[in-house]
Amino acid sequence: MSNSTLISPNQLRKTIRQRRQQLTAPEQVKASQLLLEQLAQRLLINKVKNIAIYLSNDGELETELVIKWCWKQGITTYLPVIHPFSKGHLLFLHYHQDSVMQTNKYGILEPKLNIQNIIPAQNLDIIFTPLVAFDTKGNRIGMGGGFYDRTLAKWYQDYRTNPHATPRPIGIAHDCQKVEDIPTQSWDIPLPEIITPTQHFTFSLHK
């Protein structure tokens, strides 16, 4: 997609959301299988213990296979939960087969808030990060709430002096969500890695 810098963020969101929503059910299934193939070896090699991931909606690349695979491998999974008191921020709660779920204000399922199930973000190895579109520099555009930009701000600050800082954010997206260029704001946090069903992008974020 060319000339994306000439499109407003909201128009870009609309265009790419429509693009991924138009994927057929068989295409989504295949993409999900390819995503697991991309991630499985990496997670095992790096001996990952705790990950944050999300439940897919709105045509997002399906994460269910990855989550169930992680459970089988003993990798503890956490889901984002909208913070009840700190506006625009996320908590991460343990997610397992018996988790009690509820629907948040965006219509997305999340674990019912229980303080005993919260993990501090700095104790996560990876935060798999949703996005609507991404470009060739690692810039992402989300749904507009800024939740992940706030969540990753501390990581990005640490990353400037330590490229191995955790929790490492890794974007997940369909191939069709890649665009030429994304207009950014000062508060936008770029990603060092983005994984699609067919490609693994890595970016140097040091300027």
pLDDT (tens digit per residue) in 94-107: 999 999 999 988 88
* Arithmetic mean of pLDDT, 157-174: 93
Instruction: Choose among 60, 65, 64, 91: nearest CA to 78.
Output: 91
pLDDT-based confidence at 2, cuts 50/70/90?
very low
Return d(Cα 94, Cα 20) in angstroms, integer: 28
Q: Which has the closest alpha carbon to 64: 77, 83, 47?
A: 77
The terminus-to-terminus CA distance of the chain in angstroms comes to: 25
For the segment 66-88, the average pLDDT, to the nearest whole number, is 94
The pTM of the full predicted model, rounded to 2 decimals, is: 0.91
Tokens of 95: 């997610």
Phi, psi of 195 (to 5 degrees): -115, 130
- Position 206 scores a pLDDT of 61
Q: What integer is the mean pLDDT of 85-91?
A: 89
Domains of the chain: 4-132+144-202 (3.40.50.10420)
Cβ proximity of 191 and 129 under 8 Å: yes
What pLDDT score does 204 carry?
83
How confident is the model over 119-164, as pLDDT tens digits? 999 999 999 999 999 999 999 998 888 899 999 999 999 998 998 8
Joined tokens for residue 98: 């018996």
